[in-house]
Amino acid sequence: EEWFPKQYNKTVLLLVDALRYDFLFRNETLAKVMEAENFDTPPINSRYQNHLTEILDKLDHEKQKSAAFTLIVDPPTLTNVRLAAISTGNFPPTLEFRNGFSARYVLEDNILAELKRFGRKIIFCGDYTWGDMYRDSFYEYYPTDSNTVSDLHSVDKIVQDTLFPSRMKQPNWDIIVGHPAGIDHIGHMHGPEYEFMGPKLDQMNQMIKIITDNLDDDSILIIFGDHGMDPTGNHGGGTFLETRSAFFAYSPNGLAFSSTYPVFSKLQNSGHLAQNFTFSPFSAQRDAFHQIDLVPTLATLQGVPIPHNNVGTLAPETFPKTPLASDALILTAKTLLLNAAQLLRYVEVVDTASEFLSQKSVDRYHSHFASLKSRF
């Protein structure tokens, strides 16, 4: 049975390892300088900026079908730790940092377990770490050895050859997950300014074009990173460049809201939220959200329950286009109500178990939820 209606028939997730935010977004100044000047030696940042032209073209020319945001990542910025966070929607404990290079099986409620429980068929190819953590969740699983950081190309080639477009064109799947690692390997070996970074991003751009060219109308592509990288190409800490990744969504049928659409302001104006109800992630137009927000977002798009420990907030900018704008706002309000109910249950469990929260805080959560619920 459906817990909530699926919003897309199929979902393609491309986790580009170490996709730092400035690898994706256009540098207009650099573009103009490069066009106006002839360089014997191109600017350093031209090696890693303005290469993902398939994304940039979609954002320029298919604005109602695409959206992009900076993705705020919580430290520690280790791949295993980030995978745990983007499956549970919560912040891994300090112990996870100690185990950052040795993945453990995730026992907590997580999005992959919920997807499997509701019959979603997940196809995975890429970093073998996913198998260590979620080995029972996949319908098909094609692991690659990503430990050899000096190998800049094998993982990416296997991901593309296995999934895009060959497996995409076949039936019998709901979600395809690809996890290429070449950008991360170049960073570790040589840093982001290395001459091979541009060609590697060009390779990723070609993979993205293959996906978008073969994406069914009733589908969505979501591209995101697990972390960024510092100026030396490493990660694990909490510096700005390590904790800023990128997010891109594209659907051929169109998205309900553009990246600059003030969703929550519209909800308040339409009467679906109390005028005095504030919710900072959507209180104005935004250009960023948190990585853990991927969990309730994917759960909602695929029509499965949000994992119990989630503390993220869904991103309605990924919702499909509806015949009427008001339909999308109503869908957003209803799904946010489900998200709020899940968060309230989590708060109640945490408070019962630890008495960490004050009674005033718990009462405030209940009051906010009652305000939301009264609108329906």
pLDDT tens, residue order, the chain (376 aa): 557 899 999 999 999 999 999 999 888 766 666 666 665 555 667 889 999 999 999 999 999 999 999 999 999 999 999 999 999 999 875 445 445 455 678 889 999 999 999 999 999 999 999 999 998 999 999 999 988 889 999 999 999 999 999 999 999 999 999 999 999 999 999 999 999 999 999 999 999 999 999 999 999 999 999 999 999 999 999 999 999 999 999 999 999 986 555 555 555 555 544 444 444 444 345 688 999 999 999 999 999 999 999 999 999 999 999 988 788 888 888 898 899 899 988 888 876 766 666 777 778 877 877 877 776 6
DSSP per-residue codes, 178-241: EE--HHHHHHHHH-TTSTTHHHHHHHHHHHHHHHHHT--TTEEEEEE-S----TTS--SS--TT
pLDDT score for 274: 44
Please give the pLDDT value at position 34: 61
The pLDDT, as a whole number, for residue 292 is 96
- Give me the pLDDT at residue 273, please: 46
Q: Which ranges of the chain does DSSP label H, i.e. alpha helix? A: 21-24, 28-36, 53-61, 79-88, 94-98, 111-117, 129-134, 154-163, 182-190, 197-213, 263-269, 294-302, 325-354, 359-373
pLDDT at 37: 60
In this prediction, residue 158 carries a pLDDT of 97
Please give the pLDDT value at position 280. 42
Q: Using an 8 Å Cβ cutoff, are 254 and 219 in contact?
A: no
Could you give the C-alpha distances from 235 to 15, 170, 193, 196, 373, in angstroms and in order?
16, 37, 15, 19, 42
What's residue 247's pLDDT?
Answer: 96
Q: What is the pLDDT of residue 278?
A: 43
- The whole-number pLDDT of residue 367 equals 82
For the chain, how far is it from start to end, CA to CA, in angstroms? 23
The first and second tokens of residue 375, run together, are 């609108």
191/127 Cα distance (integer angstroms): 20
